[in-house]
Structure 1
Amino acid sequence: MTRYMDVHHGMQGITADELRQAHQADLAIEAEEGVHFERAWADPDAGIVYCLSEAPSADAVARIHERTGHKPDEIHAVPLSV
């Protein structure tokens, strides 16, 4: 499986609780697409949220996020890490 970093724009003012709830919504159904969301970060001032996952494809990541109501604006494969 490949790791993916997806990016959500337009989330100005997101709170820690809202980020946690969105992440939990993804976790609740992630197995249906063979995805595992590892972590999420947010910059409330810039309105950007980042999510790191392992998945069989970027489409699988997008489908989970879309079903939970927060479609990503970008999805990037990150095949290398140290």
Structure 2
Amino acid sequence: QALALDVTVLDEDGSEVILSEEIEESDDTDIRPLIDGDDNFAFGSDESFEDAGFTEGTAEELEDAAFDAFEEDDLVPGFD
């Protein structure tokens, strides 16, 4: 059931992007050229996953790791 939403997608130049509803499963489109040089996908060598809040390790190491648990109330200061 369609919701009949009318959406227009614009690229960075303000030109309309035509969206296709068909996706070929055998299509091996490589997206690397699309994200190369894009700062949103960049991860500098001077950065670490730990600084970003992630934990690195093997499955066995992470299985027994202690993780910090928090309640949803902790996300908003002064919210009880």
Q: TM-score, normalised by structure 1?
A: 0.20
**More helix as a share of residues:** 1
**More strand as a share of residues:** 1
> Max radius of gyration: which structure?
2
